[in-house]
Amino acid sequence: MMRVLGIDPGSIVTGFAILEKGNNGLIHVHSGAIRPSARESFAVRLKGIYRSLQTVINDFEPDDVAIEGVFLAKNPQSAIKLSHVRGVTMLASAEAGLEIYEYSPRAVKLAVVGYGQASKQQVQKMVQALVRLKEMPSPDTADALAVAICHIHTTISG
């Protein structure tokens, strides 16, 4: 059985999800979002994201980590902040000795929805169906689940 930590990095909200590939398909183990306080300095928010991911990794012991790759941001400041968040997610994963895989937003949407330009809502609905969730996941959690699904599909069929 393969256990994957999917991460959707963000400076305001970082989504994460633990999925397993079992004999009967995908199994949702745990998912959520890390929401650092906007009142804290950016460095303190990064530390919080890092520590939260360390806890998730220690508690759920994934085999692999899948992270959504960089997209072209219109705002350079946003791109720089996102890069910092990606760095701490990679550091937490690498320190735990985990293999890190990156997937572009287009590849994730293609793997989950079958269309590389799918909307956030289409991703949310498809993730909810594929993982058999009772409630629609938040956009950030859905993206983390989608990255994990993409990795599982890529690893098994690739």
CA distances from 89 to 7, 12, 59 (A): 8, 14, 16
Residue 149's H or E segment, with its range, is: helix 139-157
Flag the least confident range among 13-17, 57-61, 89-93, 113-117. Answer: 113-117
Rounded Cα gap, residues 46 and 11, in angstroms: 8
Domain that holds residue 103: 2-157
- Least confident among 50-59, 70-79, 89-98: 70-79
CATH number of the domain residue 27 falls in: 3.30.420.10
Number of domains forming the structure of the chain = 1
Strand 99-103: give its sheet, edge to edge.
25-34, 14-22, 2-8, 64-68, 99-103
**Residues with catalytic roles:** 8, 68, 140
What is the per-residue pLDDT for 77? 86
Band of pLDDT at residue 17, cut at 50, 70 and 90? very high
Above 90 in pLDDT, residue 96?
yes
Q: Is the pTM of this model over 0.85?
A: yes
98-114: average pLDDT: 95
